[in-house]
Amino acid sequence: MGSAQLLLSYGQAFVAPDWRHHRSSMSVRFPEPGQLSAKGASAVISDSTRRNAMAKQAGDLSVRGFLADYYSTPDHWDVKTSATRVLRALNAWCYSQSQCVADGSYVSSLSAIVFRARTAHLFHAGDTLVFRLRGAEFEQLTRDHVTDLGGYRYPSRALGMDGSLDIDYAQFPVKQGDIFLFTTQAVLGTLMPSEYVQLIRQDASDLNAACDRLAEAAVQRAQSRGYGAEQFCFQLVRIDELPDEQPDHPGRAYGELPIPPELSPGDRLDGLEVQAVLSRTAQSRVYRVRDVHSEREMVMKAPSPELSNRNAYLEHFLLQQWVVERVKSPFVVRIMESSRPRRFLYYLMAYVEGETLAEWARRHPQASLTQRLDLANQLGKAVQALHHRGILHQQIHPGNVLIDAHGQVLLVDFSACRAREAGGHRESRELLRQVGLTEHSAPEYALDDSVGRRSDQFSLASTVYWLITGQLPYALPPNRLHRHTDLEQLVYRSARTLNPEVTPALDEALRRALDPQRSLRYRRMSEFRHALRQPLAGNRQEARMGRNPAHFWQGVAAILLLLLVLSWLLR
C-alpha cells in the first residue's frame, strides 16, 4: 500500500480463566481502499460487568453490532454522524432486549476509535480504557464513568444501561508512530504507566508479543497482590503510515450531491430510464425506472427539487435508505444497488407489481375476516421487523402498504421513519408533521407528547380496524386533536357494531391497542399480534368443520372405534 493511504498495525492478547464465560470483546477492522477512504479503519473494545450472567453475549454483540452497522451507514455521512447514530440505535436495541430477559442484561462499556485520513475519532461510553503512547508520553484518552456500590465499581453511562445514551466524543490529529492501547478496568491496580511504556517499547515491531507481555505482567502483578484469577485483554494499534494530506470526503456532504431535476417518462438519469411517475409530493418524487443495461425494473425515490436548500430534510432522506438496508424482512421492501456510481441524490428500491391496501380493500369488498386478518398479521410482522432494529415507522396507513400478486404484504414508504434514540421525541414529531399527520396517526403526535413503539402500535391497530370495518375507530380522527382535553372525545366505537364477524376478543384487542393513552396499550407489539392471530386459528378450525360437519364427526367416531379395537387386542 502506497504512502497515500492510511496504514495500521495491531496486536491482541486475552487472558481469562474460562474462555466460555469471558465478558470482554475487542476487534480491529481495516476495510478495502474505497471504504477506507469513506469510513476509515476502526478499533473497538467492550467490557460487561462481572456479575452479569449474559456478559459474554453483551460484550460480543456490542463490538460486532458497531462494526457491522457503522460500515453500512451511507458514505454521505461523516464519521461522527455515522458512529453516533449506530451507537444510539444499538443502545436502544440492547436496552429493549434487556427488559425481556430474566437473568443478566445486554449492558456493556464500549470504546471505539475510527481512524480516517489523518484524524482519529474517539467514541466512549462506560469504563473501558484507551491510552495513547506518543514518544515517551503515555496519556489516558477516556474518562472512567463508574459508580461505587457496596464496594464494587459498576460502569455508568454504558451501552444498554438506559433508554438514552450519553456518548463521549473527541477528535484529534494522529501522527505516524502513535500507538493506542485498548484495555479494561480489570488492569487497574496492576501496572504503572512507566511499565506500560517499557513493555510496549521493548519490541514495538511485534504488537502481538507486546500485548502478551502486558497480559503476563498484569497476571503476575494481580496474583502477587492477591487479586486471584482475573480477565485481562489488551489491544494495541499503531499508525504506520498516513496519507499525504486530508482528502475530500468521497461520499461528499449530502448537500453537494445535486437533487435530480423533475423527471418524466422517457427521461434518463445515471443509466436509469423513467417508465412512470408514481408519486409527486412536497417532499419527494417516486419513479418507476428501468436500468438500460440490466433491464431491471426498480423504484427510484428522490427529494423534491423544491427542497434544494432544506438540508435538514436531505439528511433525513439519506437516513431512509440506511433504515431499509438494515431491516431484513420479506414484508419490507428491499434496497437495490445501482449498476453505476450515483451522480444525483436518490436511492433505489425493488419494484413490486401490486396495489395498495386501500386499493385492495376497494376491489375485495366481500373478502372474509380471515383474509383481512391474514393481511393484518403480515403488516404486524413488517412493523415488528423495524422495531427489532430500533426503528419507528411513524406513518402506517393503508396507502403505505402494498399487496403483491401473491397476496403478500410489503411496507414500502419510509418518509417519516426514525431511529429510536434518546431525546428524539421532538424531532420525531416535527418530522412526521412535516411529512404529514394522517387519520391513523397516534394522538401523541398531535399533542406534543412522547412517542415510541406504542405509537406505531396505534397506527397499525387503526389500519387493521379500518381494514375489517371500513371505518375509523373514533368519530374525531386523532390528527384533529388540539389540546389534551380533546382526548375525552375519543370514544372507541366497537368494531362488532360495524362487522358482526368480529369476535369479542378481537374487538377488545383492537380497543386496547387503540387506547388514547399510550401507556395503556399493549406493552409489546408481539402481544397485539398474538391477539390478532387468535381469531385466525378459530376460523380455520371452524372452516374445516363447516365444510361438512357430518363427515367431521364420522371421522372422530371412526378414530374412537379404532382405539377401542386396539385396546381389546392389546389385553
Residues 326 and 434 in one domain: no
**What pLDDT is stored for residue 501 in this prediction?**
92
Give the model confidence (pLDDT) of 387-441 as tens digits: 888 788 999 999 999 999 899 999 988 888 887 653 455 666 677 777 778 999 9
Output the CA–CA distances (angstroms, integers) from residue 564 to 552, 560, 567, 569, in the order listed.
Answer: 19, 6, 5, 9
2 is a domain residue: no
Domain count, the chain: 3
The Cβ of residue 8 has, within 10 Å, a number of other Cβ atoms equal to 17
On the question of pLDDT at 56 being above 90, the answer is: no
On the question of pLDDT at 498 being above 60, the answer is: yes
Closest CA to 461 of 501, 403, 507, 496: 507
Q: Give the model's confidence band at 164: pLDDT under 50 very low, under 70 low, under 90 confident, else very high.
A: confident
Quote the CA–CA distance of 58 and 10 in Å, as a whole number.
Answer: 24
Which residue among 305, 330, 350 closes a domain? Answer: 350
What integer is the mean pLDDT of 315-327?
Answer: 76
554 is a domain residue: no
Residues 405 and 420 in one domain: yes
What integer is the mean pLDDT of 326-342?
Answer: 85
204: CATH: 3.60.40.10
At 143 the three-state DSSP class reads coil
455 is a domain residue: yes
563 is a domain residue: no
372 is a domain residue: yes
571 is a domain residue: no
Output the CA–CA distances (angstroms, integers) from residue 83 to 37, 115, 181, 314, 481, in the order listed.
Answer: 16, 12, 20, 19, 37
Residues 192 and 220 in one domain: yes
Residues 89 and 200 in one domain: yes
Type and span of the H or E element at 550: helix 549-569
The answer to whether the pTM exceeds 0.95 is no
**What pLDDT is stored for residue 249 in this prediction?**
39
Residues 292 and 331 in one domain: yes
On the question of pLDDT at 318 being above 90, the answer is: no
At 243 the three-state DSSP class reads coil
Give the model confidence (pLDDT) of 352-367 as tens digits: 999 999 999 999 999 9
Give the model confidence (pLDDT) of 190-213 as tens digits: 899 999 999 999 987 899 999 999
Our CA dihedral for 413, 419, 424, 429, rounded to 10 degrees, sits at 10
- Residue 455, Ramachandran bin (φ over 0: left; ψ between -120 and 50: alpha; else beta): alpha
Q: Give the model's confidence band at 166: pLDDT under 50 very low, under 70 low, under 90 confident, else very high.
A: confident
On the question of pLDDT at 156 being above 70, the answer is: yes
Q: Give the model's confidence band at 472: pLDDT under 50 very low, under 70 low, under 90 confident, else very high.
A: very high
Interior CA angle at 437 toward 431 and 441, to 5°?
105
On the question of pLDDT at 30 being above 90, the answer is: yes
558 is a domain residue: no
Q: Which residues contact 293 (CB under 8 A, 6 or more apart)?
A: 271, 339
What integer is the mean pLDDT of 288-292?
Answer: 94
| Percent above pLDDT 70 for the chain | 86
What integer is the mean pLDDT of 335-346?
Answer: 83
DSSP states of 418-431 as a string? EE--TT-HHHHHHH
Q: Scanning the structure block, which residue is given the C-alpha cell 445535486?
A: 258
On the question of pLDDT at 516 being above 90, the answer is: yes
Type and span of the H or E element at 286: strand 284-291
Residues 336 and 363 in one domain: no
CA dihedral sign, ordered 385, 387, 391, 396: positive
On the question of pLDDT at 253 being above 50, the answer is: no
Type and span of the H or E element at 238: strand 232-241
Residues 380 and 267 in one domain: no
Quote the CA–CA distance of 334 and 348 in Å, as a whole number.
Answer: 9
248 is a domain residue: no
Q: Give the model's confidence band at 106: pLDDT under 50 very low, under 70 low, under 90 confident, else very high.
A: confident
Which residue among 241, 271, 295 closes a domain? Answer: 241
On the question of pLDDT at 224 being above 70, the answer is: yes
Q: Determine the residue type at 2.
A: G
**What pLDDT is stored for residue 316 in this prediction?**
76
Checking DSSP bridges between strand 354-356 and strand 284-291, what pairing results, if any?
Answer: unpaired
**What pLDDT is stored for residue 256 in this prediction?**
60
Residues 235 and 260 in one domain: no
**What pLDDT is stored for residue 107 in this prediction?**
85
What integer is the mean pLDDT of 39-67?
Answer: 83
Name the average pLDDT for the chain: 85
Quote the CA–CA distance of 380 and 361 in Å, as a whole number.
Answer: 18
Q: Give the model's confidence band at 228: pLDDT under 50 very low, under 70 low, under 90 confident, else very high.
A: low
Higher pLDDT, 393 or 570: 393
Where do the DSSP E strands lie in 63-175?
109-116, 119-125, 129-134, 137-140, 146-149, 152-155, 168-173
Residues 401 and 311 in one domain: no
Give the model confidence (pLDDT) of 519-545 as tens digits: 999 999 999 999 998 765 544 444 444
On the question of pLDDT at 319 being above 90, the answer is: no
What integer is the mean pLDDT of 342-356?
Answer: 90
Residues 472 and 525 in one domain: yes
301: CATH: 3.30.200.20
Residues 11 and 72 in one domain: yes
DSSP one-letter code for 332: B
Q: Give the model's confidence band at 135: pLDDT under 50 very low, under 70 low, under 90 confident, else very high.
A: confident
Looking at the chain, how many residues does it have? 571
Higher pLDDT, 238 or 570: 238
**What pLDDT is stored for residue 351 in this prediction?**
93
At 479 the three-state DSSP class reads helix
On the question of pLDDT at 252 being above 50, the answer is: no
At 491 the three-state DSSP class reads coil
507: CATH: 1.10.510.10
Closest CA to 301 of 324, 331, 329: 324
At 263 the three-state DSSP class reads coil
Which residue among 350, 368, 386 closes a domain? Answer: 350
Residues 336 and 426 in one domain: no
What integer is the mean pLDDT of 241-257?
Answer: 56
Q: Determine the residue type at 336.
A: M
* Residues of the domain holding 17: 7-241
